[in-house]
Each structure stands twice: as structure tokens, then as C-alpha cells.
Amino acid sequence: MNLIAYPNDGLRQLVEGYRRFFNGDPVRRGFCAIHAEQIANTQAPHSMVVSCFDSRVCPEAIFNTNDGHICVHRNMLNQIDQEDFSMMASLRFAVENLKVQNIVILGHSDCNAVAKLQHLEELTPEIRAWLDRTHTSYRGATLEEAIKNNVLDQLDHLKQIPCVAQAVQARGLNLEGMYFHIHTGRMERYNAVSAQWKFISTEEK
């Protein structure tokens, strides 16, 4: 395993799965009974993905995972909200029981939820209530910039959760921000060291 490129084997699997997705070479042929039987007795996902609920963004397909490889939690704006018990229960179980190696916040181009942050007053009460509790705001000269900034805000929220911070410290739990381009299938990954977004190479090794 190339530890310089990947902090752990789970992230290598995510990136290599993404490349298979991009290049139209999926190993996943669709869920059927034979897969269910193969994974029935184990659950050892390497990563948890927190994704926007946009129907055009399907983490299992984008990372070309087989069943049992990733846990997915989805909500509008891919937000980390400590007062959301559903989110917190899933997160805690993934970190402490399943001991995932990575948590990925997955934003995407054209995110209507981020665009709506500019017009909260126009929304129905339920949607406004949810978007209003994001502890993020529309920041950026373009929608793409605002969406990426929201991913970074959610990563910050993640780091403030005690069980996450503890796992980062104790066993190197890796936190990632990614941005999926719906129109091209390309993916960018945030590099915290250089503070830059960079496209993931789509070349299969």
C-alpha cells in the first residue's frame, strides 16, 4: 500500500473504486441474493460517507463499493449537526463500534441546498428549519466555492465531536472532504496540508 498517497487502506479502496466508476469499469453488478449471502455474517466497513441527499449523488455507485464496505448517512447539505440524534447515533456507531478508518463529507456541484442558503425566507418551514441549523452560511464568489466552503464547515463540526476527536487522536481516524462534479463525474479532494482542492486522478494503476 502506498501510504504517501493514502493514509489507510480504506481510502485506497475508495479512490480506486472511484476510478473504476469514472472509467466505466464497475465491479459492482447490482445487489442480488448471492451478495446478501456473502456478507450476511460480517459488517466491517472501511469508511463512513456523509452525503447530500441529492438523488444524482449516490456514494455506493460513485465509490464503486460492494455491500458492506461503506456506511452512508445522507441529509440535505451533507451537514454534521450534533443535535440531530439520527446523525449522531450513526456516527457514533460507525466510529466506536465499526471503527471506520475514514469519514468523508461528500459535497457536490449544483447543490440546491447550498444555493438556498441565500434565500432562506422563501423556503417552506421544514426546509428552512433544517438549513437554518447548519452553522454554515453562503460564503464564496461562486456556487462552487460556497459548496466547497460548506464541506469545510462540516469537517470542522466533525472535528469538534468528542468521539471523533478522540478516534483521530488515538487511532488515526482520517477525515476527508470531497466534491463530486455531477456533470463530468470528476471528483476533487481537499488537501488540508496545502489548503487546496485537487482533482483525483482518474487513471487506473
98 three-state secondary structure: coil
List the one residue out of 80, 76, 158 whose CA is nearest residue 115: 76
Nearer to Zn ion, 111 or 187 (CB): 111
Residue 8 CB, nearest approach to Zn ion (Å): 27
List the one residue out of 113, 118, 140, 11 whose CA is nearest residue 52: 113
Nearest-Å Rg of the Cα atoms of the chain is 17
Nearer to Zn ion, 105 or 113 (CB): 113
List the one residue out of 198, 187, 181, 144 whose CA is nearest residue 56: 181
Residue 76 CB, nearest approach to Zn ion (Å): 7
Tell me the CB-side half-sphere exposure of residue 165, using CA atoms within 13 A.
Answer: 6
Among 111, 117, 175, 187, binds Zn ion (CB under 5 A): 111
| Contacting Zn ion within 112-131 (CB under 5 A) | 113
Nearer to Zn ion, 111 or 155 (CB): 111
Q: Can residue 52 be called a binding residue for Zn ion (CB under 5 A)? A: yes
User: Quick count: other Cβ atoms within 10 Å of Cβ 203?
Assistant: 8
Long-range contacts, stretch 36-42, CB < 8 angstroms, 24+ apart: 36/67, 39/66, 39/67, 39/68, 42/68
Residue 111 CB, nearest approach to Zn ion (Å): 3
Interaction pattern, residues 83-102, with Zn ion; x per rule: CB under 5 A: --------------------
Instruction: Give the range of 7-15, 54-62, 80-88, 98-106 binding Zn ion by CB under 5 A.
Output: 54-62
Residue 143 CB, nearest approach to Zn ion (Å): 11
Nearer to Zn ion, 99 or 119 (CB): 119
Q: In the numeric block, which cell numbers belong to residue 45?
A: 466497513
Residue 12 CB, nearest approach to Zn ion (Å): 27
Instruction: Give the range of 52-60, 84-92, 132-140, 150-158 binding Zn ion by CB under 5 A.
Output: 52-60
Q: Residue 166 belongs to what H/E stretch?
A: helix 162-171
Distance CA 143, CA 152 (A): 14
Among 6, 13, 47, 54, binds Zn ion (CB under 5 A): 54
Nearer to Zn ion, 35 or 116 (CB): 116
Give the residues lining the site for Zn ion (CB under 5 A): 52, 54, 111, 113
